[in-house]
Structure 1
Amino acid sequence: MDGRTLRGAETRKAVLARAVDIASVEGLEGLSIGRLATELGVSKSGVFAHFGSKEELQLHTVKQASRIFYDEVIAPTLSTAPGVDRVYELMSGWLEYSKSRVFPGGCFFAAVSAEFGAKPGRVRDAIAELDRTWLKVITDAIGQAGLKADPEQLAFELNAHVHAANAASLLHGDDSAYKRADHAVRAALGR
């Protein structure tokens, strides 16, 4: 890479790193090309050149957050053989992802799903697709575990437990919610 291309890649990386943090706390509507340029000390035109519009910035931010989520929650479970342990690791990994504040606002997708759930458009569609994918990951892991439960129903319930912990932790500053969610997940899996 020449120097200009390398600087452009570094700027894009820095913009997306800051954008996912802002969006986890303030939502995707809290993002602006001007704000990111100011906070990062780069030109507004330089940021605009990477994304072109607020919607494109939002879409790239969602995509970046999904990469981080995959690396933090899903990838660590891939070395575990299919079974109840993998299902549990998925859920405990999600709880740790929220508790450790990988994103300062807790779960990035909980924040932006609430913000865009009723707003039609490309950003909502991208968020909804990632939510479906996450539920499918859980459902498939349950199916492979051979549990005597409806995989879709159990996936829904497990996902609800971890999301409730995220919400309680953020709203009430109650980290004991993570222990409660872990207990509920263990009970649901018969562990």
Structure 2
Amino acid sequence: MSKSGLFAHFRSKDAVQLALLEQAVSLAQANVVAPAMEADAGLPRLRALVENWLGWTARAGLRGGCPVAAGIFELDDVAGATRTALVTIEASWRAILAERTLEAIALGELDAQLDVEQFVWELCGIYLSHHASARFLRDPLADRRAVTALDALLDRAALRTPRP
């Protein structure tokens, strides 16, 4: 497709980017969230969600990596519709992670005193580190290191005293 054909269809660069982000969200739902929801509630579901998230783009056929991660760095200091959409997508994703974390707390699998926002922040840090290690550094140990970091985070968050 020619550049003029592309712009005749989408009308603007923002329209192209927004359509691509919409498709990325749909692919993430199908490749990350939906399969994780088949796992048992609580920690199994949370773990499945995070493990599905790691490297999800390769499984979804996105050879360029995660469009959201790329956009976060590309558009961090740029105003506009695409950045606004990315902020909404990232907030929605963090809310999904928080919901699954709260589910594990409610089931007594994680400590009720857990700072959920900090926990989700650290999950996002694991993802971004994995993304950089796997894609940019091509580190063959990226998956293993990410799972080790997840295990350590879950261990720190585990219920310390049994519920009465």
- TM-score under structure 2 normalisation? 0.83
**Corresponding residue number in structure 2 for 1:52:** 11
Aligned-partner Cα distance in 2 for 1:175–1:98: 16
Conserved 8 A contact 2:42-2:103: yes
User: Does structure 1 residue 157 correspond to structure 2 residue 117?
Assistant: no
Tell me the alpha carbon deviations over residues 98-124 of structure 1, each in whole angstroms, 9 at most, x when there is no partner.
564732122221111110111011110
* Mapping of residues 42-191 of structure 1, within 5 Å: 44-45=4-5, 47-98=6-57, 100=59, 102-146=61-105, 147-148=110-111, 149-190=114-155
Letter in 1 for 2:145: R
Distance 1:96 1:84 in 2: 20
Larger helix proportion of the pair: 1
Partner in structure 1 of residue 161 of structure 2: none
Unaligned runs of 5+ in 2: 159-164
For residues 179 and 102 of structure 1, the distance between their equivalents in structure 2, rounded to whole angstroms, comes to 22
Q: Percent identity?
A: 29
Which aligned runs of 4 or more in structure 1 are off by greater than 6 angstroms?
A: none
Which one-letter code corresponds to 1:159 in the other structure?
Answer: C
Q: For 1:176 and 1:105, how far apart are their aligned partners in 2?
A: 20
The number of aligned residues is 150
TM-score, scaled to structure 1: 0.72
Residue identity matched to 2:9: H
| Cα distance in structure 1, aligned partners of 2:133 and 2:95 | 25
C-alpha RMSD of matched pairs (Å) = 1.9
